[in-house]
């Protein structure tokens, strides 16, 4: 097992509401991370086809509003069908192929058009694609965000616990959460209990989100924490996006400034936040540092009391119907 590996956050802008072009760009940055010698690269929350930034800028909670229906329909059309886990990744086939070809694992945030829930509602999903071993190039897990935040509930359905799992990567055990799920103590505890010592937190982007909690989770979990953010500017919104003039009229405006960063198991920066530009945030991480920091604190090991406090996690995929033929 590799006790030292390189990991990266790819802080890039999506090709807004264009699934195929966004995925092509993701593949290019997977290659960049592999060229840098990384074993894992992560991208931001719903990076494909984009975070629904229009919701908070167009009074989106108006019931039965024709303008919201138009942009939502475009969002659904450009969202991602992942396909069966044993298959080639559905719309993510190109990313899966890049992961297999370059031997690099990928954490990618997508707006998932979930065909096991009818195919018309969207989930804020986090996909783990393996780059190593017998499962190289395969989607290993899909975590649907447990609770969309505020106006996000106008675009995304509530998820379930099926994706609260971890994956081996060299000597490390990787887990991941979407955006404000990283503030939720119990999902973090579920991943700690599953052996997590490399936590990936994905965000739509913003230093205000990543600068404090990245280091806090690292200290709490005595783990490495990689925060991966997208970058989104008014210049990234194409002219043909419905209602664009209402939410992206200022050509110089920055909606999400990034803030991707990596913290070590002592809470110190392994790679400080990158703000306002595209780029790879890379750090070499050493599993030995995890073992050192857990000498005095291990949240689910010698410093836990399962006889007093215990968490129950339902990891079944929730479906609207069970068909018995």
Active site residues: 45, 145, 179
Distance, in Å, from the CA atom of 6 to the CA atom of 35, rounded to the nearest integer, reads 11
**Both tokens of residue 166?**
């971890």
How far is the C-alpha of 219 from the C-alpha of 46, rounded, in Å? 27
Q: How many helices (H) and strands (E) does the chain have?
A: 7, 15
- Tokens matching residue 206: 């913003």
Instruction: Tell me the CA end-to-end span of the chain in Å, nearest whole number.
Output: 46
**Cβ atoms of 11 and 227 closer than 8 Å:** no
- Spatial separation of the C-alpha atoms in residues 38 and 34, rounded to whole Å: 5
Q: Which phi and psi angles does 204 have, rounded to 5°?
A: -65, -25
**Cβ proximity of 209 and 215 under 8 Å:** no
Contacts 24+ apart (CB under 8 A), 67-70: 67/242, 67/243, 68/154, 70/242, 70/243
Q: Are strands 172-178 and 139-144 parallel, antiparallel or unpaired?
A: unpaired
């Amino acid at each position: 097992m590799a006790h030292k590996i390189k990991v990266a956050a790819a802080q890039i802008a999506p090709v807004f509401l264009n699934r195929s072009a966004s995925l092509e760009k993701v593949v290019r940055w997977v290659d960049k991370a592999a060229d840098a010698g990384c074993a894992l690269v992560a991208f931001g929350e719903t990076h494909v086809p984009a975070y629904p930034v229009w919701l908070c800028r167009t009074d989106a909670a108006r019931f039965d509003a024709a303008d919201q229906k138009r942009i939502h329909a475009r969002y659904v059309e450009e969202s991602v069908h992942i396909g069966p886990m044993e298959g080639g990744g559905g719309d993510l086939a190109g990313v899966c192929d890049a992961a297999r070809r370059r031997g690099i694992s990928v954490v990618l945030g997508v707006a998932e058009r979930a065909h096991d829930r009818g195919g018309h509602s969207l989930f804020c999903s986090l996909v783990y694609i393996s780059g190593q071993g017998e499962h190289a190039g395969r989607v290993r897990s899909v975590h649907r965000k447990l609770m969309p935040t505020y106006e996000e509930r106008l675009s995304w359905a509530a998820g379930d616990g099926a994706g609260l799992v971890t994956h081996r990567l060299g000597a490390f055990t990787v887990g991941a959460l979407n955006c404000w799920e990283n503030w939720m103590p119990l999902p973090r505890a579920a991943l700690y209990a599953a052996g997590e010592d490399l936590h990936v937190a994905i965000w739509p982007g913003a230093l205000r989100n990543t600068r404090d909690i990245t280091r806090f989770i690292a200290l709490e979990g005595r783990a490495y924490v990689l925060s991966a953010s997208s970058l989104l500017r008014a210049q990234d919104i194409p002219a043909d996006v419905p209602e664009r003039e209402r939410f992206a009229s200022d050509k110089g405006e920055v909606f999400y400034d990034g803030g991707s960063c990596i913290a070590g198991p002592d809470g110190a920066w392994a790679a400080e936040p990158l703000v306002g530009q595209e780029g790879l945030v890379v750090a070499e991480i050493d599993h030995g540092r995890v073992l050192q920091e857990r000498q005095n604190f291990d949240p689910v090991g010698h410093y836990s009391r399962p006889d007093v406090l215990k968490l129950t996690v339902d990891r079944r995929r929730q479906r609207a119907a069970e068909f018995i033929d």
